[in-house]
Amino acid sequence: MNDSVLSTSYFNPISSTDYLPLSQMRELQTVRLQKIVNLAYEQVPLYRERMAEMGVSPRHIQNIKDISLLPFTKKTDLRDTYPRGMFAAEMKEIVRFHASSGTTGKPIVVAYTQSDLDVWREVVARSLASFGVQRGDIVQNAYGYGLFTGGLGLHMGIECLGATVVPVSVGNTERQIMLMRDLGSTAISCTPSYFLHLIDQAMSMGVDMRELPLRIGIFGAEPWTEAMRARVEQMTSIKAYDIYGLSEMAGPGVGAECYCQDGMHIFEDHFYPEIIHPETLEVLPDGEEGELVLSTLSKRAMPMLRYRTRDITKIETSPCPCGRTIRRIHRISRRSDDMLIIRGINVFPSQIETAIMRVEGTLPHYQIILTRVGGLDQVEIKVEIDSELFDGDIISSYEKLQKELVYSVERIIGLKVKITMVAPRTLRRSEGKLQRVIDERKF
Ligand code: DLL
């Protein structure tokens, strides 16, 4: 069995493992799992200790099915071992960091060796190929570049496929429309909500997207719906495709739709999927809805075994007419935790709380209100403040407090929000479970 991963020249979709017969795929997964469990056991104390507690060692892994013997990992494990406790490679092997939101003020950091980047590039290229992107296409990449994996992840895959990348990143919407028109972009990658905003902006600039060469949309990083797909496809001449991923696995490219637009194929030669019941943690059979658990099968810098994604989905059981044999997951509609995705950025209400409480003069009563205006998520945070400050006629200290709050929240979640300061005892109190988040966004 050839266990090498593609690393050079343009990606050729025909040579990929998407079409492997099942028995060969399971064999490949077994070989890779054995290797990765060994690595994790040898290099990462957290895995060694957890496996010891469960009486499991690498020699128990004889088959990919034995994955169920292994302990689960969670986002809090990354937080508790922040920043490098889950790394399995030496610093000199690590060539890239990315980061994503943790549950408190600190982000979680993920690391990549050169071979991890090769795998990531390959799976993004496979995703793009399954959307029909090819050499000659011009892909306007409007995912954010930086610590977020969207921008650079898509970027590498587009280049690997030999298509042309326009690394415009997110924002500056007018310029996006200008570039789209002037360069003749044939594909766009961004969050689905940002694309709605681009459609609005184009209209207000008198540009009809249906008349542009744009024909492929590469949308992910946040939940969206079939209704949204229908609307977007009707307002433009694109086919809108879903792409899934998370920083803990690599970034975008863990799974992607094909032209059938009926579930996302998981690149399971690198990311092994299981579905569990989020409370009993029992592994559910294919076809049943539950929490997606993923294991990296080839990651060297930071192997993640049985990572609880908190994303709720199910594995499709029918074969896909496209001929790919790798399994598909259903569109992700919700999560089993309270993580919000605002403009593609992961935000935990607890982060907002931390940010507010850091500012003197605030009371521990707040509410987060999410709306969508012109396709773009808006956040308003209502915060109760000290009565002295509220009643006082010192406008400058009132304004100062508001600025401090905006800054404090932005520093932690990376988003500028609207802060509305209200008098003590204004916000509704609850005797039961307090609803701090009001999500009025509709697709
Ligand atoms: O959002 C990676 C990504 C970038 C995926 C660009 C697709 C396109 P994180 O910031 O770590 O990584 O957030 C991961 O976002 O657990 C899901 O809850 C959500 N998510 C990602 N893709 C989708 C999708 C990137 N297609 C978290 N549908 C995941 C629904 C998605 N939710």
Q: What is the mean pLDDT of the chain?
A: 92
Is pLDDT above 80 for 394? no
Is pLDDT above 80 for 425? yes
Task: Burial-class residue 319 by CB neighbours within 10 Å (0-12, 13-18, 19+).
Answer: exposed
Which residues does 90 contact at the CB level (< 8 Å), separation at least 6?
none
pLDDT at 406: 96
The identity of residue 403, as a single letter, is K
CB distance 221 to ligand 1 below 6 Å: yes
Is pLDDT above 80 for 118? yes
CA-proximal residue: ligand 1, atom 13 (nearest): 246
- Atom of ligand 1 lying closest to residue 243 CA: 26
Count of beta carbons in the 10 Å neighbourhood of residue 26: 15
Q: How far is the CA of 360 from the centre of ligand 1 (A)?
A: 34
Q: How far is the CA of 136 from the centre of ligand 1 (A)?
A: 27
Which residues does 108 contact at the CB level (< 8 Å), separation at least 6?
75, 78, 79, 82, 99, 100, 101, 102, 247, 248
pLDDT in tens, 201-213: 999 999 999 999 9
- Token pair, residue 238, equals 């694109």
Q: How far is the CA of 311 from the centre of ligand 1 (A)?
A: 9
- Token pair, residue 392, equals 């006082």
CA-proximal residue: ligand 1, atom 15 (nearest): 221
CA-proximal residue: ligand 1, atom 20 (nearest): 221
Q: What percent of the chain has pLDDT over 70?
A: 94
Rounded to whole angstroms, how far apart are CA atoms 402 and 423? 13
CB distance 87 to ligand 1 below 6 Å: no
The conformation of residue 376, written as its DSSP 8-state character, comes to E
Q: Are 311 and 290 in contact (CB under 8 A)?
A: no
Q: Are 64 and 272 in contact (CB under 8 A)?
A: yes
pLDDT at 196: 85
Query: What average pLDDT score do residues 322-338 get?
Result: 92
- Atom of ligand 1 lying closest to residue 254 CA: 5
CA-proximal residue: ligand 1, atom 4 (nearest): 150
pLDDT in tens, 241-264: 999 999 999 999 999 999 999 999
pLDDT at 190: 95
The residue whose two tokens read 């966004």 is 441
Query: What average pLDDT score do residues 206-221 get?
Result: 96
For 258, what's the count of Cα atoms within 13 Å in the CB-facing half-sphere? 19
The pLDDT-based confidence of 389 (bands split at 50, 70, 90) is confident
CB distance 149 to ligand 1 below 6 Å: yes
CA-proximal residue: ligand 1, atom 30 (nearest): 223
Rounded to whole angstroms, how far apart are CA atoms 137 and 188? 10
CB distance 309 to ligand 1 below 6 Å: yes
The pLDDT-based confidence of 430 (bands split at 50, 70, 90) is low
Q: How far is the CA of 309 from the centre of ligand 1 (A)?
A: 10
The helix (run of H) or strand (run of E) holding residue 94 is strand 94-100
- Token pair, residue 183, equals 């360069």
The pLDDT-based confidence of 432 (bands split at 50, 70, 90) is low
Q: What pTM, to 2 d.p., does this model score?
A: 0.89
CB distance 173 to ligand 1 below 6 Å: no
The residue whose two tokens read 């013997």 is 69
The best mutation among 75, 194, 222 to test binding of ligand 1, ranked by most ligand atoms within 8 Å of the C-beta, falls on 222
Q: How far is the CA of 411 from the centre of ligand 1 (A)?
A: 21
Of 10-24, 36-50, 319-333, the least confident: 10-24
Q: Are 128 and 161 in contact (CB under 8 A)?
A: yes
Q: Are 326 and 316 in contact (CB under 8 A)?
A: no
- Token pair, residue 411, equals 């520093």
Is pLDDT above 80 for 76? yes
Of 104-108, 216-220, 376-380, 427-431, the least confident: 427-431
CA-proximal residue: ligand 1, atom 28 (nearest): 223
CB distance 193 to ligand 1 below 6 Å: no
Rounded to whole angstroms, how far apart are CA atoms 294 and 254? 9
Q: How far is the CA of 251 from the centre of ligand 1 (A)?
A: 8
Which residues does 162 contact at the CB level (< 8 Å), separation at least 6?
10, 11, 134, 135
pLDDT at 408: 94
- Atom of ligand 1 lying closest to residue 344 CA: 1
CB distance 251 to ligand 1 below 6 Å: yes
The pLDDT-based confidence of 181 (bands split at 50, 70, 90) is very high
CB distance 247 to ligand 1 below 6 Å: yes
CB distance 249 to ligand 1 below 6 Å: no
Q: How far is the CA of 396 from the centre of ligand 1 (A)?
A: 41
The best mutation among 149, 191, 304, 340 to test binding of ligand 1, ranked by most ligand atoms within 8 Å of the C-beta, falls on 149
Q: How far is the CA of 243 from the centre of ligand 1 (A)?
A: 8
Query: What average pLDDT score do residues 119-143 get?
Result: 97
CB distance 355 to ligand 1 below 6 Å: no
Q: Are 358 and 184 in contact (CB under 8 A)?
A: no
- Atom of ligand 1 lying closest to residue 335 CA: 18
- Atom of ligand 1 lying closest to residue 310 CA: 16
